[in-house]
Structure 1
């Protein structure tokens, strides 16, 4: 399945993180446990188990839940969960290290390094905007940020999730129609550090950036658009976000 902030298990985990931020670990743990019990597929089970692990009383218990999370991530076998494996194996390695198991600590550290290479995502890729563009046009870095009006961006951003590009188009400045273009990177690209290993492990939104241009090769005209209320909620979160953009 694709990551969506509107997925019930994702929302449950977000609620748990809000409780953590408010200093209510017991309530957070209950929400994460509820997410685990409600999870219905490998992706949801991986995600819920990862957060359940954060509230375990012992290193052995934490290792148990991180191992469960990694097993479900592997079974899900998609680009989103693959991106979380370096984080999972790194944390599993740290648990083994704390338990004095040098061999398994080394093994999982090596797995973390192995999966931590450049993105293997083959797309297709999308870019959401309100700009009126044509096939063959090149999107280049150097534009102003949609989120910090005076910041000139050193990269051009894109995603493998059409829903994510649609959300970006809805949040883009201006009153022009929302557009989602199919794009091809013309050079190397990396995980977007503004979203990778932040709230969620890895790059679950399959968000990337490149200093090389993106070539427009098509356009999507239908995608799951969010309600005006949902878009307004996202706008408020962006307005309240005081974090620095990694440019």
Structure 2
């Protein structure tokens, strides 16, 4: 029986038998199979109807999403699968982190909830407060966290 392992291609890329894992941080209470879709009020900014939905390939960025989301619900990290194309999140890439090191993306197509991460370590209360203070200062300057 042949063992399945990652293989390095001649151009230096790694081919793996596994799909990319994506996360979505929120305070929404979702179930397996639920779809996260555009058109509902955003968890951020001015809470307008969302034109895009967001996901990330890093757990840390998803944790920030859960910690900074509006609402009183529990912070949750879901494993999601995009149902259509995704693109780099312009709110983070090039403006704040050239090259997309946060591996943050957005889409107009739904994400299907396929799991939930229930054991994760959040940021310290001081880190969360510092981030919220920074976002509040940007808002005072007319710069919103989410641009559509």
| TM-score, length basis structure 1 | 0.49
User: 1:1-247 residue pairs with structure 2 within 5 A?
Assistant: 122-241=19-138, 242-244=142-144, 245-247=146-148
- Please list the CA deviations of residues 3-40 of structure 1 after superposition, one character each: whole Å capped at 9, or x if unmatched: xxxxxxxxxxxxxxxxxxxxxxxxxxxxxxxxxxxxxx
**CA apart distance, 1:146:** 2.8
Partner of 1:106: none
- Point out which structure has higher relative CO (alpha carbons under 8 A, 6+ apart): 2
- Bigger proportion of residues as strand: 2
Q: Distance in 2 between matches of 1:215 and 1:186?
A: 7
Gaps of 5+ in 2: 1-11
Q: Distance in 2 between matches of 1:210 and 1:239?
A: 26
Give the SS at the match of 1:216.
Answer: strand
Q: CA RMSD in A?
A: 1.9
Shift of 1:147: 2.8
Name stretches of at least 5 consecutive residues in structure 1 with no aligned partner: 1-74, 79-121
Distance 1:200 1:149 in 2: 23
Q: Is the 8 A contact 1:147 1:238 kept in 2?
A: no
Helix, strand or coil for the counterpart of 2:132?
A: helix
1:163 CA drift (Å): 1.5
* 3-state secondary structure, aligned to 1:127: strand
For these two proteins, the number of residue pairs brought into alignment is 129
Q: Deviations over 1:161-214 (max 9, x none)?
A: 111111110111122211100000000010001111112221110000010000
TM-score by length of 2: 0.80
Equivalent residue of 1:151, what SS? coil
1:239 Cα deviation after fit? 1.2
Does the 8 A contact of 2:81 with 2:111 survive in 1?
yes
**Structure with the larger helix share:** 1
* Bigger Rg, which one: 1
